[in-house]
């Protein structure tokens, strides 16, 4: 790789070198907090979730249902025309059986994240978790239903649906 | 030979301290819709490429780029993000159009500063992790250091810096899009809470929310699409030493070099005469003066006298920050530079309402990335 | 359009944790790249920086911090960002700096220091996704790959064993790369027996997180011809971003890669990439991705990539080598640096300077591609001699 380059820079360290501070290490814990405005689209989407309903919006130009609900269609670049109530049942579009957590830690019990096509939306999927089933029995095309948190525990968030289980 | 590039459309949402009724996505959509309407283009068909200017941590997503295309009509099109101040976006679009690869581009930036609850920690997060973060100071001490050194080197006084706040906050009263218009006196500013001596609270701009989109086109397209194209005569951008320990503290070298680059492209030899008005960064009052000198828009050491004599007032010889600047409009995070472009374009088009300047044909917009950065960009625009 | 060439390249070793700071990685590599073509920083007119999320180095406005290491002191300097697609986009950005006619020499610097993010760099991705509808579920980066791999296998009836051959090929190719992090002779069984991370993704299907930097020097035609007799021309560039709403699209095919590839091929005048491209470096952060992306790059029909892999056409000595560098799987996935590493690989290959990795037969044209964000970004560059 070019005769001029004689040596490749980079000094490898091991995890121990850092943990045991064998080299100079500085640490910093960032303090970054945010509170994002949900706006009209997600605002209503979550308000409906709190009531135990899944709602989408519809663009009459491309005739798509939009999920999660939003007030403008990104394909046609125009405001949507109506809000549409959808069912809380659906079909598994794809899924995984996850043994690693968010920080690459090993999980004892696997989680089953999935994309679930919501009935009534013409195949539009939302991201959520499947549970209450043997992970190795989950299949693409499997039918599932939302398991909602009890009404008083719902906050107006995607987690108002606790998980989805097979029907 | 450079291809001529013009701004053919712009759109924005009014700048306000909080915007709880819209999500950032809806804010971007609104600004984009207005810009495309103004330019007479459909983003899905007519725009070849999009640039957005956003820093991940400012918006609280580790890859903010993900959330952008849908909101500005860029799905399945050329889009990239510049984690940089938004005036860089204008320069980037100017470059890309000059390659001949694209003819029409949109540049977007927005601020949802109100959604960021720990802004001092955000700025602190930008400091060198080995040499500076461990000090644990509120990072705005850097502005205090710089102001102190600037006053020492230039002879500008605290009173003259305070006059900048007074001027800009008053200018903002005539800007319906501005968040912080007010009638202040020099004493109000000098006696306000001392924050980082010699910087007091009213020397500092406050954050605001808002979104801005501009549409640019090559000359051929601009002439068919637009009645009043505003020409981008020159652009420049520059980064000076990032390290606090080795930088120049008195002079805004990044502004000087960015200015030189822009003037060269624009063929401007005598800025003070050839430029009619300017929107320069005024995150802090002293910055406006420091930038005017760096940009050679006033003789060296004269910026303080200029503001004292009223030369930079709306009715003065060389109006500066007629929009109200960041002090009057609100500081819009990365969108600050586009707010300056917005004002320059409105003035050059004759659409600045009550704050309209008379007989202007060349305007300058300049931006700075903010504490603790040592970088900025410049654009020179004209209506001829 | 003004012609632009790559005239020099340098990179660091890719490793899980480097002692050098991000600044130092950028500096070492920039110096190496300039030395490789006998230029100094004074010859450089402008600098572009590509580096993936600030959350890794844990510095806000990361490009400012890295600026001096990247040689950007008192120069026009800007950072471009497209998530994982950044590295190849940096090459596009350097191209348009020079092609605009405003600059003659542009330094394209990519740097990644993932190891600073504790406890594990993967954690930096949790906060990428939609903060309202996705992150609250504890959404991990691995889920997306697992979903996509599952969908891809399901759409075309491809098995995990077949896909595992990509890991085998690339890690073997990496044995000849002096900077490789995880080269090795592994077998399909090794991959199948490796720990399940998120089914169907297993540990040996995944490229390692890395620290590293890669720098390329871009120059205008006149300048390039003056300093080298082997300029490698940028013949095509393309980049494209799809919707973030993954529920509205089918993950089995990367449309955004196809759109970006078409832009680049159109510019390069390529009508039949299967014949006109000699070497491909599709981005391979996961084994199946090489196949997925190769289809997006129009190097074969949908679902057919695995056939080319299994019949040896994509080996280094095959008809159209894919990832002769060893790819992300073998060399390491220092995100932005890996993207530019693929462009650098084409640079070295097309000049006949790839040493033990050299593709035989004097290859003349190559395509490099990167991907990123929420399975959304395609960035493509075509280089040729």
Strands B49-53 and B104-112: parallel
Which DSSP category does B243 fall into? -
Domains and CATH numbers, chain B: 5-118+208-229 (3.40.47.10), 132-207+231-382 (3.40.47.10)
Note the pLDDT tens digit of each residue in B89-106. 999 999 999 999 999 999
Which segments of A13-135 are extended strands (E)? 54-59, 64-66, 72-73, 78-79, 82-86, 89-95, 97-100, 106-118, 125-130
- Domain ranges, residue A104: 39-166
Domains contained in chain A, number: 1
Residue A25 lies in a domain: no
Cα torsion for C275, C277, C279, C280, to the nearest 10°? -110
The whole-angstrom separation of Cα A48 and Cα C253 is: 33
Contacts of C16 in chain A (CB under 8 A): 12
Complex ipTM: 0.96
The whole-angstrom separation of Cα C313 and Cα C274 is: 11
Q: What is the mean pLDDT of residues C149-162?
A: 97
Kindly report the CATH number assigned to the domain that includes residue C234. Answer: 3.40.47.10
Residue C76 lies in a domain: yes
By the 10 Å C-beta count (0-12 exposed, 13-18 middle, 19+ buried), B270 is classed as exposed
Angle at A70 between CA A67 and CA A74, to 5 degrees: 90
Flag whether residue C198 sits within 8 Å of chain A, measured between CB atoms. Answer: yes
Nearest CA in chain B to A42: B23
Residue C249 lies in a domain: yes
Chains with at least 3 CB pairs less than 8 angstroms from chain A: B, C
Tokens read off for C217 = 């020097």
Residue A147 lies in a domain: yes
The whole-angstrom separation of Cα B296 and Cα B286 is: 16
Q: What is the pLDDT of residue B1?
A: 62
Contact B126 C245 (CB under 8 A): no
The whole-angstrom separation of Cα C44 and Cα C31 is: 12
Residue C153 lies in a domain: no
Residue C72 lies in a domain: yes
Whether residue C270 contacts residue C236, with contact meaning beta carbons closer than 8 Å, is answered with yes
Contact C78 B257 (CB under 8 A): no
Closest in B2, B65, B128 to C83, CB measured: B65
**Residue matched to tokens 């790959």:** C145
Note the pLDDT tens digit of each residue in B183-192. 999 999 999 9
Contacts of B134 in chain A (CB under 8 A): 26, 28
Domains contained in chain C, number: 1
Alpha-helical runs (H) found in chain A = 15-19, 39-50
Whether residue B138 contacts residue B124, with contact meaning beta carbons closer than 8 Å, is answered with yes
Residue C213 lies in a domain: yes
Q: Chain A: give the shortest CA distance to residue B296, in Å.
A: 39
Contact C137 A5 (CB under 8 A): no
DSSP codes, C128-194: TS-TTTTGGGT--HHHHHHHHHHHHHHHHT--HHHHHHHHHHHHHHGGG-TT-SS-----HHHHHHS
Lowest-pLDDT range of B57-61, B308-312, C124-128, C249-253: C124-128
Alpha-helical runs (H) found in B101-172 = 119-124, 141-154, 158-172
Best of B22, B112, B239, B373 to mutate (most C CBs within 10 Å, chain C): B239
A43 upstream amide cis, omega within 30 of 0: no
- Domain ranges, residue C273: 4-119+208-384
**Residue matched to tokens 């800025």:** B271
The whole-angstrom separation of Cα B113 and Cα B123 is: 12
- Dihedrals phi, psi of A65, to nearest 5 degrees: -90, 140
The whole-angstrom separation of Cα A63 and Cα B181 is: 45
Closest in B26, B75, B133 to A39, CB measured: B26
Q: What is the mean pLDDT of chain C?
A: 96
Whether residue C240 contacts residue C184, with contact meaning beta carbons closer than 8 Å, is answered with no
Residue C182 lies in a domain: no
Q: What is the pLDDT of residue C126?
A: 87
Contacts of C200 in chain A (CB under 8 A): 96
Residue of A145, A120, A146 whose CA lies nearest to A67: A120
Residue C265 lies in a domain: yes
Q: Is C7 helix (H, G, I), strand (E, B) or coil?
A: strand
Contacts of A10 in chain C (CB under 8 A): 12-15, 18, 20, 25, 28, 179, 211-212
Alpha-helical runs (H) found in chain C = 22-36, 54-57, 62-66, 86-99, 141-156, 160-173, 188-193, 221-227, 255-268, 273-276, 287-296, 305-310, 327-331, 335-350
Note the pLDDT tens digit of each residue in A6-62. 889 999 999 899 889 899 988 889 999 999 999 999 999 999 999 999 999 999 999
Q: Per-residue b/e over A36-54, b at no fewer than 16 CB within 10 Å?
A: bbbbbbbbbbbebbeeeeb
The whole-angstrom separation of Cα C51 and Cα C335 is: 8
Angle at B178 between CA B172 and CA B179, to 5 degrees: 105
Residues forming beta bridges with residue C82, ordered by sequence position: C84
Positive or negative, the CA dihedral B217, B219, B222, B224 is negative
Q: What is the pLDDT of residue C348?
A: 97
Q: pLDDT tens for chain B, 384 residues: list them.
A: 678 999 999 999 999 999 999 999 999 999 999 999 999 999 999 999 999 999 999 999 999 999 999 999 999 999 999 999 999 999 999 999 999 999 999 999 999 999 999 999 999 999 999 999 999 889 999 999 999 999 999 999 999 999 999 999 999 999 999 999 999 999 999 999 999 999 999 999 999 999 999 999 999 999 999 999 999 999 999 999 999 999 999 999 999 999 999 999 999 999 999 999 999 999 999 999 999 999 999 988 899 999 999 999 999 999 999 999 999 999 999 999 999 999 999 999 999 999 999 999 999 999 999 999 999 999 999 999
Instruction: Mention every residue, 6+ apart, whose C-beta is less than 8 A from residue C153.
Output: C159, C160, C163, C200, C288
């Amino acid at each position: 790789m070019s005769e001029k380059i004689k040596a490749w820079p980079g000094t490898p360290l091991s995890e121990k070198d850092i943990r045991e501070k064998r080299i100079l290490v500085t640490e910093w814990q960032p303090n970054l907090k945010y509170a994002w405005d949900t706006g009209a689209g997600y605002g209503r989407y979550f308000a409906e979730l709190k009531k135990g309903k899944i709602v989408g919006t519809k663009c009459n130009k491309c005739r798509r249902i939009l999920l999660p609900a939003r007030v403008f269609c990104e394909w046609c670049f125009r405001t949507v025309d109506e809000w549409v109530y959808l069912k809380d049942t659906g079909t598994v579009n794809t899924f995984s059986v996850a043994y690693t957590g968010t920080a690459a830690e090993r999980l004892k019990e696997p989680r089953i994240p999935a994309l679930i096509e919501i009935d009534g939306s013409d195949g539009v999927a939302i991201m959520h978790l499947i549970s209450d089933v043997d992970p190795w029995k989950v299949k693409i095309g499997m039918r599932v239903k939302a398991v909602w948190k009890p009404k008083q525990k719902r906050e107006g968030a995607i987690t108002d649906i606790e998980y989805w289980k097979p029907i | 030979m450079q291809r001529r590039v013009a701004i053919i459309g712009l759109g924005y949402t009014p700048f306000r301290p909080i915007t709880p009724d819209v999500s950032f996505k809806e804010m971007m959509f609104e600004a984009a819709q207005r810009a495309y309407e103004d330019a007479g283009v459909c983003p899905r068909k007519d725009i070849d490429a999009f640039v957005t200017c956003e820093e991940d941590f400012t918006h609280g997503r580790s890859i903010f780029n993900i959330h952008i295309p849908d909101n500005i009509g860029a799905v399945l099109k050329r889009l990239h993000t510049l984690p940089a101040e938004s005036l860089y976006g204008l320069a980037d679009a100017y470059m890309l159009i000059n390659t001949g690869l694209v003819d029409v581009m949109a540049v977007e930036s927005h601020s949802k500063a109100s959604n960021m609850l720990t802004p001092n920690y955000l700025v602190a997060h930008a400091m060198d992790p080995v040499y500076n973060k461990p000090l644990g100071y509120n990072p705005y001490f850097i502005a205090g250091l710089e102001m102190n050194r600037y006053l020492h080197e230039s002879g500008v006084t605290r009173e003259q810096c305070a006059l900048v706040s007074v001027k800009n906050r008053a200018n903002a009263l005539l800007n319906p899009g501005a968040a912080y218009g007010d009638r202040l006196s020099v004493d109000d500013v000098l006696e306000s809470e001392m924050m980082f001596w010699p910087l007091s609270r009213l020397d500092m701009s406050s954050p605001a929310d808002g979104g801005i989109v501009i549409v640019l086109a090559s000359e051929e397209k601009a002439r068919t699409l637009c009645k009043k194209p505003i020409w981008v005569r020159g652009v420049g951008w520059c980064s000076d030493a990032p390290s606090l320990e080795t930088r120049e503290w008195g002079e805004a070298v990044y502004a000087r070099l960015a200015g030189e680059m822009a003037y060269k492209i624009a063929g401007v030899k005598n800025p003070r005469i050839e430029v009619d008005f300017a929107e320069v960064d005024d995150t802090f009052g002293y910055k406006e003066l420091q930038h005017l000198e760096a940009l050679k828009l006033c003789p060296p050491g004269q910026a303080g006298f200029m503001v004292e004599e009223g030369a930079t007032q709306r009715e003065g010889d060389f109006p500066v920050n007629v929009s109200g600047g960041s002090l009057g409009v609100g500081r819009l995070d990365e969108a600050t530079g586009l707010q300056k472009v917005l004002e320059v374009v409105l003035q050059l088009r004759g659409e600045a309402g009550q704050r309209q300047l008379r007989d202007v044909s060349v305007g300058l917009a300049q931006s700075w990335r903010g504490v603790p950065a040592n970088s900025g960009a410049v654009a020179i625009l004209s209506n001829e | 359009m003004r012609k632009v060439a790559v005239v020099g390249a340098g990179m660091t070793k890719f490793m899980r944790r480097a002692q050098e700071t991000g600044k130092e990685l950028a500096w070492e590599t920039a110096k190496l790249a300039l030395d490789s073509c006998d230029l100094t920083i004074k010859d450089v007119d402008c600098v572009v920086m590509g580096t993936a999320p600030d959350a890794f180095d844990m510095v806000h406005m990361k490009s400012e911090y890295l600026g001096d290491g990247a040689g950007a002191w008192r120069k026009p300097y800007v950072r471009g960002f497209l998530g994982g697609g950044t590295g190849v986009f940096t090459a596009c950005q350097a191209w348009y700096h020079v092609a605009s006619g405003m600059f003659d020499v542009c330094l394209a610097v990519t740097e990644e220091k993932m190891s600073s993010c504790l406890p594990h760099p993967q954690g930096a991705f949790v906060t990428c996704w939609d903060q309202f509808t996705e992150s609250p579920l504890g959404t991990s980066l691995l889920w997306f790959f697992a979903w996509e791999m599952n969908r891809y296998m399901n759409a075309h009836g491809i098995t995990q064993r077949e896909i595992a051959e990509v890991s085998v090929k690339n890690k073997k190719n990496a044995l000849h790369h002096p900077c490789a992090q995880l080269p090795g002779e592994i077998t399909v069984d090794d991959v199948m027996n490796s720990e399940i991370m998120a089914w169907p993704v297993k540990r040996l299907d995944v490229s390692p997180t890395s620290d590293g930097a890669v720098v390329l020097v871009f120059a205008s035609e006149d300048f390039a011809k003056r300093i080298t007799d082997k300029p490698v021309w940028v013949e095509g560039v393309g980049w494209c971003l799809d919707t973030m709403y993954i529920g509205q699209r089918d993950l089995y095919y990367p449309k955004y890669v196809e759109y970006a590839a078409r832009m680049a091929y159109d510019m390069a005048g390529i009508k039949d990439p299967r014949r006109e491209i000699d070497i491909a470096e599709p981005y391979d952060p996961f084994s199946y991705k090489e196949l997925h992306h190769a289809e997006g790059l129009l190097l074969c029909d949908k679902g057919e990539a695995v056939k080319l892999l299994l019949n040896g056409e994509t080996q280094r000595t095959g008809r159209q080598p894919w990832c002769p560098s060893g790819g992300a799987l073998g060399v390491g996935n220092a995100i932005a640096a890996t993207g530019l590493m693929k462009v650098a690989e084409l640079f070295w290959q097309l000049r006949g300077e790839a040493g033990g990795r050299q593709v035989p037969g004097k290859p003349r044209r190559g395509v490099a591609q990167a991907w990123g964000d929420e399975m959304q970004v395609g960035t493509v560059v075509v280089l040729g001699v």
